[in-house]
Amino acid sequence: MVISTLADGVARQIEAASDAVTGVFEPVVRLGVTGLARSGKTVFITSLVANLLDRGRMPQLVANAEGRIEAAFLQPQPDDLVPRFDFETHLAAMTGQSPQWPESTRAISELRVSLRVRPNGLLSGFQGARTVHLDIVDYPGEWLLDLGLMDKSFAHWSAEVLERLQGRDEAAEYLGLVSAMDGGADLDEPKAQALAAAFTEYLHAARGVGYSDCTPGRFLLPGDLAGSPVLTFAPMAAVEKPGRRSMWRTFEKRFEAYKAQVVKPFFRDHFARIDRQVVLVDVLGAIHAGPRAVEDMRGGLADTLAAFRPGRNAFLKRLLMGKRVEKILFAATKADHLHHSQHPQLTNIMQALTREAADRAQFAGASTEALSLASLRATVEEAVTHEGRKLDCVRGRLLEDGRQAAFYPGALPQDASALLNPAKDGAEKWLEQDYQVMKFAPAANTLRPGDGPPHIRMDRAAQFLIGDML
Ligand SMILES: Nc1nc2c(ncn2[C@@H]2O[C@H](COP(=O)(O)OP(=O)(O)O)[C@@H](O)[C@H]2O)c(=O)[nH]1
Ligand SMILES: [Mg+2]
42 lines ligand 1 (CB under 6 A): yes
User: Residue 14 to residues 110, 273, 316, 327, 454: CA-CA distances in angstroms?
Assistant: 18, 9, 18, 17, 35
Is the previous residue joined to 216 through a cis bond, with omega within 30 degrees of 0? Answer: yes
Nearest to 99 by CA among 46, 58, 55: 46
- pTM value is 0.89
Residue 406 has pLDDT above 80, yes or no: yes
Q: How far is the CA of 86 from the centre of ligand 2 (A)?
A: 10
Tens of pLDDT, residues 200-256: 999 999 888 767 778 899 998 887 888 899 999 999 999 999 999 999 999 999 999
Q: How far is the CA of 194 from the centre of ligand 2 (A)?
A: 29
Q: How far is the CA of 40 from the centre of ligand 2 (A)?
A: 7
Query: Mean pLDDT over all residues of the chain?
Result: 88
334 lines ligand 1 (CB under 6 A): yes
Residue 6 has pLDDT above 50, yes or no: no
At residue 298, the pLDDT reads: 86
Query: Would you give the DSSP letter of residue 119?
Result: -
Nearest to 139 by CA among 96, 105, 175: 105
333 lines ligand 1 (CB under 6 A): yes
376 lines ligand 1 (CB under 6 A): yes
Q: Of 138, 207, 334, 346, which is best to mutate to test ligand 1, by the most ligand atoms within 8 angstroms of its C-beta?
A: 334
Instruction: Give the Cα-Cα-Cα angle 455, 459, 464 (nearest 5 degrees).
Output: 135
Q: Would you tell me how many other CB atoms lie within 10 Å of the CB of residue 124?
A: 11
Angle between helices 189-208 and 172-179 (to 10 degrees): 160
Q: How far is the CA of 100 from the centre of ligand 2 (A)?
A: 14
Tens of pLDDT, residues 248-257: 999 999 999 9
Q: To the nearest whole percent, how much of the chain has pLDDT over 70?
A: 91
Q: Would you tell me how many other CB atoms lie within 10 Å of the CB of residue 246?
A: 18
pLDDT tier for residue 353 given thresholds of 50, 70 and 90: confident
Residue 425 has pLDDT above 70, yes or no: yes
Distant-in-sequence, close-in-space partners of 443: CB < 8 Å, separation ≥ 6: 99, 377, 378, 379, 380, 396, 397, 454
pLDDT tier for residue 282 given thresholds of 50, 70 and 90: very high
At residue 19, the pLDDT reads: 55
pLDDT tier for residue 361 given thresholds of 50, 70 and 90: low
Cβ 250 vs Cβ 188: under 8 Å: no
Backbone angles phi, psi at 132, to 5 degrees: -115, 130
